[in-house]
Amino acid sequence: MTKPRRRRRTVVFAVILTLGAVAAATISQAGLGGSKRVQIGTGSVAALSRAARATDSLPAEVLSYPFAGHNFANRSGIGSRLLKTEGSLSLYAVPGKAGMVCLVEVDDLAGTSGGTCADRSVLRTGSIYMADEREDGSREVVGLVGDGHTFAVADGRRVPVDNNAFVLEDIEGDEVTIGSPTAEQTVDIGR
């Protein structure tokens, strides 16, 4: 009588363990967005919360593009923040529609501008970036990262994250690594 009971208990225990493991895996996958990618932070962008300054306004030309109407939370770019300037390049963060957040780059010298908007959840496991391929095949990569990220590195070049943004120039290769003091993420910028 004792042995079958023990066996039954063992089987029940094994079933509970298995169910527990399956439940934990399911919850973990749901929380991670179905991937095993490393997460840093919550996807929040502190730069968007700071007090506004006169220099935060986007150029009128950028606001005139259809992109602004399609993506920005407000057509006139209300809430935009200047993240970083480097030479003639200026980077802005802009609140987007339906939970998106946008990165806009303006190069006064080159007469170019670009922008990209993605769901804020992208910032938990990576970066909202733009990579510009130069005539010599190298790339300039600009990126928006969530709070907690402190550096970006690619092709042996390491740059600090400043106001949730980074700029990497003359990059060859298809990966950028971004990270905090305790964790790293890999962003695939290849085609």
Q: Which residues bind another protein (CB under 8 A)?
A: 61, 65-67, 70-71, 97-100, 110-119, 121-122, 126-133, 188-189, 191
62 token code pair: 């950028």
- Measure Cα distances from 68 to 73, 105, 124, 145 in Å: 9, 13, 24, 21
Nearer to another protein, 135 or 181 (CB): 135
Nearer to another protein, 47 or 101 (CB): 101
188 token code pair: 């695939």
Minimum distance, C-beta of residue 115 to another protein, in the bound complex (Å) = 5
Nearer to another protein, 18 or 172 (CB): 172
Nearer to another protein, 6 or 70 (CB): 70
- Three-state SS string over the chain comes to CHHHHHHHHHHHHHHHHHHHHHHHHHHHHHHCCCCCCCCCCCCCCHHHHCCCCHHHCCCHHHHHCHHHHHHECCCCCCCCEEEEEECCEEEEEEEEHHHEEEEEEEECCCCEEEEEEEECCHHHHCCEEEEEECCCCCEEEEEECCCCCCEEEECCEEEECECCEEEEEEECCCEEEEECCCCEEEEECCC
Minimum distance, C-beta of residue 155 to another protein, in the bound complex (Å) = 16
Minimum distance, C-beta of residue 170 to another protein, in the bound complex (Å) = 15
Minimum distance, C-beta of residue 118 to another protein, in the bound complex (Å) = 3
Nearer to another protein, 12 or 164 (CB): 164
Minimum distance, C-beta of residue 117 to another protein, in the bound complex (Å) = 5
